[in-house]
Amino acid sequence: MDAIADSAGTPVYIYSAATIRSHLRRLTEAFAAVKPLVCFSVKSCGNLSILRLIAGEGAGMDVVSGGELARSLKAGVPASKCVFAGVGKTDAELEQALRAGIGLLNVESEAEFENLAAIARRLGIRCDCALRINPDVDPRTHRYTTTGKKESKFGVDLERARAFFDRYGRGEFARLRGVHLHIGSPVYTVDPYVQSVRKALALKEDLERAGFTIDALDLGGGFGADYTTGQTPPVRDYAAAIVPLLEPHCRRGLRLFLEPGRTIVGNAGILLTRVLYMKQSGEKRFAICDAGMQTLLRPSHYEAFHFIWPAAPAPAFVPASREKEPAMAGLSPCDVVGPICETGDFLALDRMLPPLSRGDLVAVFTAGAYGMSMASRYNSSPLPAEVLVDGDRFELIRRRESYDDLMAHELPMLEHAPAAPPQARTALRH
């Protein structure tokens, strides 16, 4: 850790190539009987080197923006191995996806489909589409990441899905031939997936009886990651419950898509930060670090737990597992906070931790997913570096931003712009 911190500085995201490969291979092997196209969720971790690593294992990409599609293509992934979801695709993004030859375009509303169909017809490009449905299943996760309930902004409810196909399912250019669902993330039990798959397959069979061809099923992602040790079932447990439902359909030609994100990269990454100051205020102990909500938003935004521990603990403080309340003598409560001018700027509150001192390196675990991808430049904080460890080597895969980087895209200062006409200046004064 010291060598990486000395080379790349802090805060820095550190990823393990071996862990990424292992997680991806386990998932692929668990679902091998139904031969899915595994499309990695780019929104979880979009670094080009990470995408190239995952693509090298044969995976496609799940994208939700034109920028993520551009990243995937830059990483060498053909558009035909990409699925494009998202509730608010722009005309430019739809045209970009069509021209690139997107593999599957997931639509989420009648208005979006009508727009897509018009653009596809204008361009003379045919594409395969899937309708995103809300199976109205509670994944029992955070309200901000629950996406499959009837009241969600995503997709359409099951009652409207049949009417949707009746109206649009015979289009010439935007060919509606699949069903897509994504119930939320992280989902720590298998049962919500079983319920959702059963509902999706029932819809598929109903549509096929009505004469529609349904040869694509996108189950989304959302499988959990271990923020605490043993928190989520092994991926083989998800597969053991889901695969038997899908096998008969896949034998008849159904193409299956999966969109894993955090289950691949969550525990493959840590955030390394340095303690700037220790502070006592009344009964409260604070560790003020150089990483905060601008570096890792999840604790503040989702009330999410990340295990935090000194990177080089004394022998008496080596934890046996990642727990919310470690059973260990010598710990005391501490708020781990960042440098941002917000009370909500924290990585952990009232966390039982060993003694910490200025200059100590602290590791924030399970930070590979929705860490760097949600980082911001708030308070004009340059984005952190990213490092990939592969075997006994590590490589800088994103350099730390400079102050010049922060301002590189801004327009010239107003005093150098042409003066406003007198009437405009008068209007501004009023």
Please list, residue by residue across 94-109, b when 16 or more beta carbons sit within 10 angstroms of its beta carbon and e when fewer do. bbbbbebebbbbbbbb
Query: In what helix (H) or strand (E) does residue 13 lie, and over which residues does it extend?
Result: strand 12-16
Total Cβ atoms within 10 A of residue 397 = 18
Alpha helices in 281-349 (DSSP H): 298-302
- Give CA angle at 204 (203, 209), nearest 5°: 100
Residue 39's Cβ-side half-sphere holds a number of Cα atoms within 13 Å equal to 31
**3-state class of 346 per DSSP?**
strand
Residue 165, burial from CB neighbour count under 10 angstroms (0-12, 13-18, 19+): buried
Positions marked catalytic: 341
Q: State the Cα–Cα distance between residues 23 and 27, nearest whole angstrom.
A: 6
Total Cβ atoms within 10 A of residue 360 = 18
For the record, the structure tokens of 23 come out as 């997680």
Nearest CA among 269, 268, 271 for reference residue 347: 271
**3-state class of 180 per DSSP?**
strand
Residue 388 contacts by C-beta under 8 Å, 6 or more apart in sequence? 14, 15, 17, 49, 50, 53, 394, 395, 397
Query: In what helix (H) or strand (E) does residue 218 lie, and over which residues does it extend?
Result: strand 216-218
How do strand 216-218 and strand 269-281 relate by DSSP bridges? unpaired
**3-state class of 135 per DSSP?**
coil
Yes or no: say if 149 and 136 are a contact pair by the CB < 8 Å rule: yes
Q: State the Cα–Cα distance between residues 197 and 139, nearest whole angstrom.
A: 13
For the record, the structure tokens of 189 come out as 């039990």
**3-state class of 417 per DSSP?**
coil
